[in-house]
Structure 1
Amino acid sequence: MRLGAASLERVEEQRFPVSLTAMTQDEAFLERQARSLPPGFLDGAARTFQFSSHSWVLRVDGLVVVVDPCTGNGRRLGQAPAFNDLDTPYLERLAAAGAPADEVDVVFCTHLHHDHCGWNVTFQDGRWVPTFPNAVYLFVEEEFHRWDPASPAQHANSFNPNVFDHCVRPVVEAGLAKVVSLPYQVSPSLTIESATGHTVGHAMLRLASEGMRAYFTGDAFHHPIQFSRPELHLPGCDDLASAIETRRRLVRRLRDEGAFVMPAHFPAPHYGRLGLDGDEVRFLPGGAE
């Protein structure tokens, strides 16, 4: 798709069903919200949605940018069995989308959960090495220190074992990491901004090009029902109160700007804008060229 002068591609790693009852058991609300959504957003019988794990690839301002490079192959992740022992052609899909690993200029992880930074590295000759040898990897300072075992800000998370040592430290040792404070201007069209809560340093990427705006929101939203009820959530937030406030703020901003929202896990068509149905905010899927 195109937004202003930017071209965008989505590169999928995998998808699997996730229960919506972990967010809410309000059946009437779910049915009402699901009426205008494609089937992947609610399996009526199972009360699940299709959780898509994917990256976004942007070409703008002369850069090739990869946002949230998924989990990676051959990992064991304890309490996250859906991500264990993957063997996906992710890099081949990336190349097919016009972004072979050695032509990527910038890698940005909205946060450092394994399914957003795993392909930062690949396992070669008994060690983890950077996947994108010619890229600068942008890490938000607060998020970087939240996972660094040497930092006082670090704390354990059984969902996300060894993420710093496996997915971040090899990038730092290769001289490819840049730790940034927010807001950070990546290029004339791209800015990294705070979207804290899901993790303490969770961030998003804002695209503004030729009057078009889009927000790559990582895990600020997992499902469109959160646009209408920001207090709904999947388990695992570092700071739930901040995550809820971030969602409220983003809903206002997305509506005020008429911007596209590009989350990390929505099923097809994976992105859209916001509208109103009476008093309820609704997700309007798709809509770009």
Structure 2
Amino acid sequence: MNTVVIGDVEITRVQEFAGPSKGTPGFLFPDSTPDYWAALDDPDFYDSATGTLRTVLHTWLIRSQGRTILLDTGAGNGKERPYAPVYAHHNTAYLANLAAAGVAPGDVDLVINTHLHVDHVGWNTRLDGREWVPTFPNATYLMPAADFDYWNPLKNPRPPGDGNQNVFEDSVAPVHAAGLVQLWSGSHRIDSGLVLEAHPGHTPGSSVLRLESGALFVGDMLHSPVQITQPDVNSCWCEDQAMARAARRRLLAEAADRNLVVFPGHFGGHSACTVAADGDAFVINSWAALARV
């Protein structure tokens, strides 16, 4: 099963990619030590025999109060990524997987980008001839204003070698030019049960989608279960290290206290879990009833 229901909201995982990561644990998580990974030793996340991390890209498809919502849109197909080749020139079955979940591009009412990193905005657009056009032409695209400004090369030129090179131009600017983008700051209520909240740190506009009946969609606050047991471990992509740690601890503490289901952006296995406090850290309490990937 790839769908769970919390309250009256239906949540479906739509897969884009699952497989070994090209980055080493020490590169992707500079704060980590080999002991952390030896303790994890779970093939859904880490192959101890080869020292290889496993990564997934997926979208959370949320059906709430009559609307079809996509949370984060992966890497996309056919994108030029000179400084992030792992996301370049993909040719995945993402749209077919979305169709298998009962959704055509024209059915989508709302696209939420928790932040504007390369692997969270790619399917915002698709290539039509020589032009990048909105993949979901009837949707409003909700983007955090702080990230929109930060990643806009006209306002904040990217340094050479930046992994987000070209991303704004091919995956953000076209939907903004089409008049589909709504920028928000602080918090933004979507409906009576869903609200977006800013939790900066990973990026200036990093956000969390709160399902008030019992879940947190935390985007890249968590890339790996090691960040649950070792919540001060940041990924190499965290823009503000101290703020990222504080946001992660704050959200995990709330999830543990209120038994909220946590939906990260890149977990393999069952992909979502509840957590419990464990001294100064946390542990996975239970996995959501989703099929393993």
- The verdict on a shared fold, with TM-score over 0.5 as the criterion, is yes
Matched letter for residue 8 of structure 1? I
The residue type paired with residue 25 of structure 1 is: T
TM-score between both structures, scaled by the size of structure 2: 0.90
- Partner of residue 84, structure 2: 80
Q: Does 1:11 align with 2:14?
A: yes
- 1:248–1:154 Cα change, 3 Å: farther
How far does residue 163 in structure 1 lie from its aligned partner after superposition?
1.5
In structure 2, the residue matched to 1:260 is: 261
Instruction: Select 1:131's aligned residue among 123, 129, 135.
Output: 135
The 3 A distance-change label for structure 1 pair 278 and 180 is closer
Aligned with residue 5 of structure 2, among 2, 5, 15 = 2
- Give the residue type in structure 1 aligned to 2:25: L
Distance 2:218 2:20 in 1: 21
User: Deviation string for 1:219-270 (max 9, x for gaps)?
Assistant: 1111111122222122122111111111111111111111011111001101
- Runs (4+) of structure 1 exceeding 4 A deviation are 276-280
Distance in 2 (CA, whole Å) between partners of 1:240 and 1:10 is 29
CA separation of 1:174/1:95 partners in 2, compared to 1, >3 Å: closer, same or farther? same
- After superposition, where does 1:1-289 map in structure 2 within 5 Å? 1-18=4-21, 19-22=24-27, 23=29, 24-27=32-35, 29-34=36-41, 38-151=42-155, 155-156=158-159, 158-209=162-213, 213-276=214-277, 280-288=281-289
State the 1:197 CA deviation: 1.1
CA contact under 8 A between 1:227 and 1:283: conserved in structure 2? yes
What code does the residue aligned with 1:2 have? Answer: V
Deviation at 1:33, TM superposition (A): 4.2
RMSD: 1.8
Deviation at 1:287, TM superposition (A): 3.3
Q: TM-score, normalised by structure 1?
A: 0.91
Q: Which amino acid aligns with 1:5?
A: D
Percent identity over the alignment is 35
Shift of 1:217: 0.9
Q: What's the CA shift for 1:201?
A: 0.8
Question: Offset at 1:280?
Answer: 4.7
Query: Is the CA contact (8 Å cut-off) linking 1:273 and 1:283 kept in structure 2?
Result: yes
SS in 2 for 1:261: strand
Q: Which residue identity lines up with residue 78 of structure 2 in the other structure? A: G
Mapped to 1, the partners of 2:187 and 2:203 lie a distance apart of 17
Aligned residues between the structures:
281
Distance 1:43 1:285, change over 3 A: farther
Asked whether the equivalents of residues 257 and 276 of structure 2 are also in contact (C-alpha less than 8 Å), the reply is no
Cα displacement (A) at 1:278 = 6.5
| Cα offset, 1:285, TM superposition | 4.5
Distance in 1 (CA, whole Å) between partners of 2:198 and 2:51 is 32
Q: Say if 1:228 and 1:282, in contact at 8 Å, map to a contact too.
A: yes
Contact preservation (8 Å) 2:262, 2:273: yes
For the 8 Å contact 2:83–2:165, the answer to whether it is kept is no
Secondary structure at the counterpart of residue 82 of structure 2:
coil
Cα pair 1:106 1:137 within 8 Å, conserved: yes
Check the 8 A contact 1:145/1:154 in 2, yes or no.
Answer: no
Aligned mates of 1:192, 1:154 — CA distance in 2: 27
CA distance in 2, matches of 1:277, 1:149: 43
Structure 1 residues 278 and 234: alpha-carbon distance in aligned structure 2, compared to 1, 3 A threshold: closer
Aligned equivalents of 2:279 and 2:232: distance in 1?
Answer: 19
Cα offsets for 1:41-66 (capped at 9, x unmatched): 22111233311011100001111100
